[in-house]
Structure 1
């Protein structure tokens, strides 16, 4: 008898259930796997929340495109983990063989594929940001505005949502004949293979979606970092070190996504024995991408904490100075270590000047002296490759 997933959803999905046979390998080690995955889930959620809180709570951070993109990718990681791990944890401890309703299965498949593909589009947006930052620093503020950032984020989420939504809709129209799935969770291709109808259109559409949401963003990432590497090879060692320190976390996350996605695509198209494939699926697709993201971006915690520390101790990075007996004027104060390598000399010169000319709030105002000192004060370039301002 053939069932249609959309028809089953319309009848409340109480007519039948899909059996997930990928848990047969757990056996007596189910408590070990349960606590490993539980620890992974708690770690991912807490670490991502800490980074997101630090970014959102400091105006010096959530106005910088790089940290906005990092926050978006970590938000993706949290949603993806919550889509898979809670159900997986319950299924591991289940006394009977785990089952899932067709409506829940199709929803889970949509979110898994949406989160996975939007990860690639977000990484391509981050690669473009780093490319402009390093290769075209003088045009950074012109090309990467907050309007541009919002548009890129919207496109990075909207395009995968539309494409994956179409693939999910096509799969839900396929008559469902088999109700046993050798998987730990639902995905679109495995669900389509449970059908007894023609899935040629679904396969073609799936290949098109994979090309647009995975292959093209991946090629753009390779191109962007290739151009960055070419610029670094022609620059000083200091510039190369700063560029690599900025780009390395993004590259590691991209490689992590690419390996996990490749393994998922290959394994879903193989009629593999769940006893041997399931541990690899757990470690590569669930544990590695979700745990590695906060660890890798933990390298950026030094920058985040430094800016947070500077913000709290400088009252928003501002310094009050006496101004000609007419009260105080507000001037931006740089946080050491920020800015591009091209502005390092200007920053050091500015810090040396401030060291030799400390503010004297209690001294009598002297307009001529203030004007003379201001004329001697070095100026820093307004073009910063990382979008930060003095």
Structure 2
């Protein structure tokens, strides 16, 4: 996939050299082109569908099945399922949110957007998503450690 993207980008004739973003993305280079970029657009949409859309569908389907099974159980089972799945769902939503803004920002004209907001959205996917995961799962781990310690103390007495 990278080889195809690179070969499609190398053939372009560029009209400028200033990228409108914090970090270099292929689509920003394509926006600088004076030549025909139709193939790049089509391949870019295909790449997005292949790399984001295809994996996202089975993930959403599996979470729907898990939630359906968990909510058919008892109240403690439902509470445990919700507490277990919540950090994972938050992480998935956060990742999807970052991907969505990355695609929107690169594919559409965002010149009316304030430059500060544009820069924040540009780094959201790179910084905030990896930063939130350890926090979410770290909070859950502290609950697990506290429960384990409580069970261990009860077992000793």
Say what the alpha-carbon RMSD is for the aligned residues: 2.8
List per-residue Cα deviations over 1:35-79 (Å, max 9, x = no partner): xxxxxxxxxxxxxxxxxxxxxxxxxxxxxxxxxxxxxxxxxxxxx
More helix by proportion, 1 or 2? 2
- Distance (whole Å) between structure 2 residues aligned to residue 219 and residue 231 of structure 1: 18
Bigger relative contact order (CA 8 A; separation at least 6) = 1
* Distance across 2 between alignment mates of 1:292 and 1:266: 22
Is 1:189 equivalent to 2:34 in the alignment? Answer: no
Q: Which residue, 39, 44, 53 being the options, matches 1:206? A: 44
**Aligned twin of 1:60:** none
- Say which one has the larger Rg: 1
1:302 partnered with 2:135? no
Question: What TM-score results when the alignment is normalised by the length of structure 1?
Answer: 0.35
Aligned to 2:54: 216
Offset of residue 303 of structure 1: 6.9
**Which runs of at least 4 in structure 1 moved beyond 4 Å after TM superposition?**
303-306
Equivalent of residue 292 in structure 1, options 132, 151, 157: 132
Q: Give aligned pairs, total.
A: 151
CA contact (8 A) 1:175 1:196 kept: yes
CA distance in 1, matches of 2:107, 2:46: 16
Tell me if 1:281 matches 2:121: yes
Quote the residue 2:68 is aligned against.
Answer: 230
Q: TM-score, normalised by structure 2?
A: 0.79
Distance 1:195 1:283 in 2: 24
Match of 2:97 among 249, 254, 259: 259
Cα separation, partners in 2 of 1:275 and 1:291, compared to 1, 3 Å: same
Change (3 A) 1:192 1:283: closer
Aligned equivalents of 2:53 and 2:123: distance in 1? 23
Contact 2:14 2:32 in 1 (8 A): yes
Q: Which has the higher strand share?
A: 1
